[in-house]
Amino acid sequence: MSVSRRRIGAAALLLALGAGWGAGAHAASDVIELTRLEAVRTEQGVLLDFEARFELPQGVEGALQKGVALHFVAEADVMRERWYWPDKRIARTSRTWRLSYQPLTFSYRVSLGGLSQTYSTLSDALRSLQRLNRWRIADLGDGEDAEYVDFRYRLDVDQLPRPLQITIGSQPEWALRIERTIRLLPQTR
């Protein structure tokens, strides 16, 4: 098979996948729910706990089943209010999970940094990337004058293959994201 025929076949496959992804679209607010979000000032620094709850929309799950890896990102900005100027960002941190389907073993793999874990069901794999406990988002020195945290959790569509980014541009089921701002809680003993 020549290179041009393979390219045409790959392009046709991507267009067919993109056409199928439009079915069953959900608004992002209907899909993702933040059930717990708490930031606490401790001796180790500023620690954040979060738990999100969502199911993958049909088109997103279909793409995962066809071999497209999904990346979920949690970001936190530790902020201090200033009345005379825009608020000051004291610290910024993020975590990225990679969710992929392994068709030979019919399993799902979740990777965080250099670590990965294999799960037999999609619901177990999703549960592992939907929560994080005692995530240090700022050191003690940085967190001393912090007042609030801007938190974001989202499906990172920028890490999808470029042809898919173009195809899904206007489809709301791919807009899995949630943003919240919370006040820092004082350290409890």
DSSP-derived 3-state class of residue 175: coil
Let me know: does 47 contact 134? Beta carbons within 8 Å.
Answer: yes
Query: What are the pLDDT digits (tens) for 60-91?
Result: 999 999 999 999 999 999 999 988 889 889 99
Q: Is residue 188 part of a domain?
A: no
| Closest listed residue to residue 113, CA positions, set 87, 91, 132, 86 | 132
d(CA 124, CA 42): 31
Q: Does residue 56 belong to any structural domain of this protein?
A: yes
Closest among 156, 151, 159, 158 to 132, alpha carbons compared = 151
What is the domain range of residue 154? 3-183
Structural domain total, the chain:
1
Instruction: Round the average pLDDT of the chain to a whole number and report it.
Output: 82
93-146: per-residue pLDDT in tens? 999 999 999 999 999 999 998 899 999 999 999 999 999 999 999 987 755 678
Report yes or no on 189 lying in a domain. no
